[in-house]
Structure 1
Amino acid sequence: MRVKCVICDKIDKIDDYSPLAKKLRNRPIHTYMCDECNERISGRTEARKASGNFRLYRPKKTENDW
């Protein structure tokens, strides 16, 4: 299966029977990201987490969570 990275437009080939290929075929909302872009984004996210400027907003579950 040929897939295209949503960030850099690089075209890769993945196995037709892999779980990723099945997920991309059956759920069009999921998108493919190549390994280089994935590593770059995860590295920058980890750097933001380490700097202290990263806030993860999650829905409030109970009154005591805040």
Structure 2
Amino acid sequence: MRVKCIICDKIEKIEDSLPAAKKLRNRPIHTYMCEECRTRITDNTTKRISTGQFFVFRSGKQKDLLQ
């Protein structure tokens, strides 16, 4: 299966039997990211977390927001 990285637009070929290929085939909303972009983002995120200035804002349940 040919896939295109959402960030760098590099086209790669992955095996049809891989779980990622099945997700892309069955649910088109899923996107593919190449390994180079994935490691770059992971490294940058790890660096940001280590500075102490990185905060993850996660939304709570809707009823918690209404109170």
Scaled by the length of structure 1, the TM-score of the pair is: 0.85
Gaps of 5+ in 1: none
Residue equivalent to 1:40 = 40
Matched, 1:52 2:63: no
RMSD: 1.4
**SS of 1:12 mapped into structure 2:** strand
Structure 1 stretches of at least 4 aligned residues deviating more than 3 Å after TM superposition: none
User: Per-residue deviation at 1:60?
Assistant: 3.6
In structure 2, runs of 5+ residues without a counterpart are none
Q: Distance in 1 between matches of 2:26 and 2:6?
A: 18
DSSP 3-state at the match of 1:43: helix
Counting aligned pairs with the same residue, the percent is: 61
Number of residue equivalences:
62
Question: Deviations 1:10-61 (Å, cap 9, x if unpaired)?
Answer: 1100001111100011111110000000000000000000001110112346
* SS in structure 2 at match of 1:59: coil
Q: Distance in 2 between matches of 1:18 and 1:59?
A: 32
For normalisation by structure 2, the TM-score amounts to 0.84
